[in-house]
A and B are shown apart, each in its own frame.
Chain A
Amino acid sequence: MYLRQLFKYWTLQVFAPGKLLSLKYEAFKELLRHDKKSLELITDLEELLHQKVPVDWARVESLVRALRWSVGSLIRALIAMQPAAYHDLEDQFQRLEMDLRDAVSLPELDRRPPYTLTLDEAGDAPDLAGGKAHTLGRIHRETGLPIPAGFVVTTSAFALFLEHNGLRHRLDELLAQVRLDNWNRLTELCREMRAMIREGDMPPEVRGEIQRRLEASRGQAPWVLRSSALSEDGEASFAGQYASLLKVSDSEIMASYKQVLASKYATQAVAYRLRCGLADQETPMAVLALQMIEPAVSGVVYTWEPQPPAGEAPCLGVYAIPGLGASLVDGSTVPEVHYLSRETPPRLLAAVASPNCPHEPGGPGKACLSPETAVSLAGWGLTLEELAGVPQDLEWCQDRQGKLFLLQSRPLKTGSLAEPDLEKDQGSPDVAQPVLLQGGITASPGLGMGKVWLVSREGELGEVPEGAVLVSPTLPPAFAAVIQRLRAVVTDGGSRASHFAAVAREYGLPVLVGTVDATRRLTHGQVVTVDASFGRIYEGEVESLKKYAGKRPVKPDTPFATRLQALMTFISPLHLLDPASPEFTPRNCRSFNDLVRFAHEKGMAEMFSLVGRSGRGLARARRLATELPLVMYILDLEGGLATQAREARTIEPQLITSEPMRACWAGLSHPDVVWRQGLLHVDWEELDRVSAGIVSLKSARLASYAIISKEYLHLVLRFGYHFAVLDTLCSENPEANYIAFRFKGGGGNFEQRLWRVQLIEMVLTWAGFTVKTRGDLLDARFDRQEARHLLARLTLLGILQGKTCLLDISLDGEEQARSFAADFQERYASYVET
């Protein structure tokens, strides 16, 4: 490939310089296209570091693949311009590309057997069994507590399932589109992902192993299938985000297995995972199949109850409801609660009956749980807390024969520990505002202010606005999907033991449950202050409590952020600043940004110095003769200069016949633009001496370049760290016409640069451009109009560049930027009216 290109190049240079120039020019256009694209992709990636809306790692992977391609194409275009010179650049690119590939890829999932495990085996295999099954397996082995019989389908079975159905890249394509700020789109994407999983075929190896487990455990059906994802129940609880399926028969087990896998892509589960900054591949899903117990009573145990009955030390809380536990954890039922001391054996301190529970099993008015049973469960809690070393959150049930079973145990998220100051300072808040509601139970402590949003059904969640105080009859896990928009949650029913409460404590969102009638007492749209720690809701925003509002536990960087920061060291930092320096070499390119910078600089140099000086009947690049302290070199491709200019050493502006160049120059040399003196001129000899016609960016010199034809202009305007590129075609065919303008950087601190970009954005938007800005990068386009409209705007752009950028004005605020833009618009309105 390389030799062929070299051969082609030499042949052409010897025999057909005209043809060579046009090939070089084609390659140069290609280079400019990939330069633009590469910078856009780098900016997209940088933006992911700073934006608050979480995205999936698949988005990063997809942008990085596009960037690798784009920079590769950029370098190939440069090599096409000058085949002999840049193979060391290609080598360096390949080295950096390998580093980047390593930094972006996640370890591939293990697809090797075993595809199923016994519970005891699961206790030894955290990676294969996932969080929930591994914990249960360990408990079973080490404590002998009663756990229903069952087995585990491993994470490697899940990996094989994806592989078998070719799903990885299809899921990634959808995941790359996910944004948490667009709920409807998220729902759409998740629906397709779940369908992909449900429609997948079971790999024969996995099907075979599950069949063998079923045969070995005849008569144990029906089953309960529960998710057991890696990372689940660890740092991130994923409480209630995935599916559990009840009463699954042997014949339904394959379909149900896929249904549990599909719940990995439930809208709320994906939203939760993204907020934790975990990648899809980091949370592969194992599935736990346990023999179904028909429970008479179900519930949870908290081994560290932060709201003990009055006068008691921290204690254990045992929560119970009749029947299945689902209505407890989904927040729809208020349970009966037993408080027990943390002694061995635990002592019953108090019991609180449930308003909607006391029918079974003891009959009307009787409690669900006997005191003896509550003591046994509390004993389990202490045992498990000791085993794990941290307070636990247990799920249990009791069958109709009175036998107890442990279903799950995970670290308890307390939340209150994160905000000790709040509770101390606030002992007796002295608040003037009326108290709208007093009471309820703290499900997650803290203080939030906002507008009441009354929820009657889950479907409305997509519409919940930023800053809402959600008021609802119950506390479903689906609230987790909009958690970042909420300031507080208040419910009539619900309990501390619900899944959403666990998620809220993790996130630091105040939640007050069991208020009985908040949905009737608070009105939609009303502004309130919710003090979930002390069970009070005030009208309006309470000034004296503002300092406590919105306090969130400080979270360490997510795995996403850590990985992205490491990745960006290969992409973002720009080390090559000074093209005149001997350090400006391919070897010293240490990031993709360096590669792009180097290739663009050399591409320009190729276009100017090599072609320009070679003679051979081609137009040479020459300096524009001007009184302004501005050095600009012009390369004419065709028809951009008058005949008289052909032999001249410098070009008089009036000899320019390129329409877009004339228009732009009219702006830059407009009498209104006052040029700051003291800028150094650079002459052609000097330019020749320093590396291929490129001047130092660090010096205060100014060197701008224009490639022109009758209808075309590619202009690079440079001063210090400003960098503006203008690419335009002004022909007779309006459909083909465009102005593309890009501006990046500039002097001053980041804020000043943003104000400058904002100012340019205001003016250009007013002038009819479509403007996009990201950070201090601005892209503006003006398309498909008659040439006269474009030319007027090129003059306007010239004036604007002269006034704002080249003069390096220092802006001291947004207000000043706005008033500058307003003055500008008034003064130059005539340019836009054409």
Chain B
Amino acid sequence: MGNILVLDDVLDAGVMIKRILERKGHQVAVFTDEEAALGHVRTHPVAVAILDIRLKKMSGVDMLEELKKLSPQIQVIMLTGYPTLETARQSKELGAFDYCIKPIDKDELEEKVASALAAATEQLTDMTD
């Protein structure tokens, strides 16, 4: 169980992810707008963020950078239908947990989120140690 944020410029894409992850008992907040998503991270604990790379105003890579500034322990899964070596490299350099490709199936998504959540928990434990 964990707090998850999903940001995708297509509402339905976010809603589908939400439906899948909520069945696993996660709390999922879906956004299509970058500012609203950042606002949510400022005011709520978020363990894992799932970011599309093509967004309305910013790129998902910039968003990743912003999120990491706001909350360094957040684990970010990039999820894109338009993968490029460039964005894969940038995402890795900025500390993304994983770089995944659409279409993603339910099992793969659940698995990625479970391991990202495990990594988030581990990092929290490290920090408190």
Closest to A44 in B: B103
B72 neighbours in A (Cβ, 8 Å): none
Determine if B10 and A174 form an interchain contact, defined as CB atoms under 8 angstroms apart.
yes
Determine if A62 and B103 form an interchain contact, defined as CB atoms under 8 angstroms apart.
yes
Known contacts A173-B10, A192-B12; decide if A69 and B83 are in contact (CB<8 Å).
yes
Question: Is there a chain B Cβ closer than 8 Å to A692's Cβ?
Answer: no
Question: Is there a chain B Cβ closer than 8 Å to A82's Cβ?
Answer: no
Question: Is there a chain A Cβ closer than 8 Å to B42's Cβ?
Answer: no
Question: Is there a chain B Cβ closer than 8 Å to A792's Cβ?
Answer: no
B82 neighbours in A (Cβ, 8 Å): 65, 169
Query: Interface residues of A toward B: which range?
Result: 10 to 19
Question: Is there a chain B Cβ closer than 8 Å to A189's Cβ?
Answer: yes
Nearest-CB distance from B101 to chain A (Å)?
5
Question: B49-61 toward A: CB 8 Å interface, digit per residue (1/0)?
Answer: 0000010100000
Determine if A192 and B101 form an interchain contact, defined as CB atoms under 8 angstroms apart.
no
Question: Is there a chain B Cβ closer than 8 Å to A70's Cβ?
Answer: yes
**Bound CA span A282–B23, Å:** 39
Question: B79-106 toward A: CB 8 Å interface, digit per residue (1/0)?
Answer: 0011100000000000000000111000
Question: Is there a chain A Cβ closer than 8 Å to B124's Cβ?
Answer: no
Known contacts A62-B103, A70-B101, A166-B56; decide if A177 and B12 are in contact (CB<8 Å).
yes
Determine if B12 and A66 form an interchain contact, defined as CB atoms under 8 angstroms apart.
no
Known contacts A166-B56, A169-B54, A169-B82; decide if A66 and B11 are in contact (CB<8 Å).
no
Question: Is there a chain A Cβ closer than 8 Å to B13's Cβ?
Answer: yes
Contact of A174 among B12, B101, B107 (CB under 8 A): B12
Determine if B101 and A66 form an interchain contact, defined as CB atoms under 8 angstroms apart.
yes
Contact of B81 among A62, A70, A189, A192 (CB under 8 A): A62
Known contacts A65-B83, A169-B54, A169-B82; decide if A189 and B12 are in contact (CB<8 Å).
yes
Question: Is there a chain A Cβ closer than 8 Å to B9's Cβ?
Answer: yes
Question: Is there a chain B Cβ closer than 8 Å to A348's Cβ?
Answer: no
List A192-216 residues whose CB lies under 8 Å from chain B.
192
Question: Is there a chain B Cβ closer than 8 Å to A63's Cβ?
Answer: yes
A177 neighbours in B (Cβ, 8 Å): 12, 16
Question: Is there a chain B Cβ closer than 8 Å to A170's Cβ?
Answer: yes
Question: Is there a chain B Cβ closer than 8 Å to A638's Cβ?
Answer: no
Determine if B103 and A63 form an interchain contact, defined as CB atoms under 8 angstroms apart.
yes
Determine if A188 and B54 form an interchain contact, defined as CB atoms under 8 angstroms apart.
no
Question: A149-177 toward B: CB 8 Å interface, digit per residue (1/0)?
Answer: 00000000000000000100110011011
Question: B7-24 toward A: CB 8 Å interface, digit per residue (1/0)?
Answer: 001111100100000000
B16 neighbours in A (Cβ, 8 Å): 177
Determine if A65 and B56 form an interchain contact, defined as CB atoms under 8 angstroms apart.
no
Closest to A188 in B: B12
**Bound CA span A781–B11, Å:** 32
**Bound CA span A149–B103, Å:** 48
Closest to A69 in B: B83
**Bound CA span A781–B108, Å:** 13
Contact of A170 among B10, B102, B107 (CB under 8 A): B10
**Bound CA span A192–B30, Å:** 15
Closest to B9 in A: A170
Determine if B10 and A192 form an interchain contact, defined as CB atoms under 8 angstroms apart.
yes
A63 neighbours in B (Cβ, 8 Å): 103
Closest to A169 in B: B54
Determine if A192 and B11 form an interchain contact, defined as CB atoms under 8 angstroms apart.
yes
Known contacts A62-B81, A166-B56, A169-B82; decide if A69 and B12 are in contact (CB<8 Å).
no
Determine if B103 and A176 form an interchain contact, defined as CB atoms under 8 angstroms apart.
yes
Known contacts A166-B56, A169-B82, A173-B81; decide if A66 and B10 are in contact (CB<8 Å).
no
Determine if B56 and A66 form an interchain contact, defined as CB atoms under 8 angstroms apart.
no
Determine if B11 and A65 form an interchain contact, defined as CB atoms under 8 angstroms apart.
no
Known contacts A189-B12, A192-B11, A192-B12; decide if A66 and B54 are in contact (CB<8 Å).
no
Determine if B101 and A173 form an interchain contact, defined as CB atoms under 8 angstroms apart.
no
A70 neighbours in B (Cβ, 8 Å): 101
**Bound CA span A431–B41, Å:** 73
A65 neighbours in B (Cβ, 8 Å): 81-83, 101
Nearest-CB distance from B97 to chain A (Å)?
16
Nearest-CB distance from B12 to chain A (Å)?
5
Nearest-CB distance from A753 to chain B (Å)?
24
Nearest-CB distance from B47 to chain A (Å)?
18
Determine if B10 and A62 form an interchain contact, defined as CB atoms under 8 angstroms apart.
no
**Bound CA span A69–B79, Å:** 13
**Bound CA span A661–B6, Å:** 41
Nearest-CB distance from A168 to chain B (Å)?
10
Nearest-CB distance from A664 to chain B (Å)?
23
Contact of A66 among B9, B13, B102, B107 (CB under 8 A): B102
Nearest-CB distance from A335 to chain B (Å)?
41
B11 neighbours in A (Cβ, 8 Å): 192
B103 neighbours in A (Cβ, 8 Å): 62-63, 66, 176
Closest to B57 in A: A166
**Bound CA span A66–B82, Å:** 8
**Bound CA span A177–B104, Å:** 12
A69 neighbours in B (Cβ, 8 Å): 83, 101
List A369-407 residues whose CB lies under 8 Å from chain B.
none
Nearest-CB distance from B30 to chain A (Å)?
13
Nearest-CB distance from B84 to chain A (Å)?
9
**Bound CA span A177–B103, Å:** 9
**Bound CA span A189–B13, Å:** 10
Closest to A770 in B: B107
A781 neighbours in B (Cβ, 8 Å): 107
B10 neighbours in A (Cβ, 8 Å): 170, 173-174, 192
A62 neighbours in B (Cβ, 8 Å): 81, 102-103
**Bound CA span A462–B103, Å:** 26
Nearest-CB distance from B48 to chain A (Å)?
18
Nearest-CB distance from B73 to chain A (Å)?
22
Closest to B84 in A: A69
Sample of 12 A–B contacts (CB below 8 Å): A65-B101, A66-B81, A66-B83, A66-B102, A66-B103, A69-B83, A166-B56, A170-B10, A173-B81, A173-B102, A174-B10, A174-B12
User: Which residues of B come within 8 Å of A, CB atoms?
Assistant: 9-13, 16, 54, 56, 81-83, 101-103, 107
The 6 closest A-B pairs by CB, nearest first: A69-B83, A173-B10, A66-B101, A170-B10, A192-B12, A69-B101
Known: A65-B83, A166-B56. 16 other contacts (CB 8 A): A62-B81, A65-B81, A65-B82, A65-B101, A66-B101, A69-B101, A70-B101, A170-B10, A173-B10, A173-B12, A173-B13, A173-B81, A173-B102, A176-B103, A192-B11, A781-B107
User: Which residues of A come within 8 Å of B, CB atoms?
Assistant: 62-63, 65-66, 69-70, 166, 169-170, 173-174, 176-177, 188-189, 192, 781
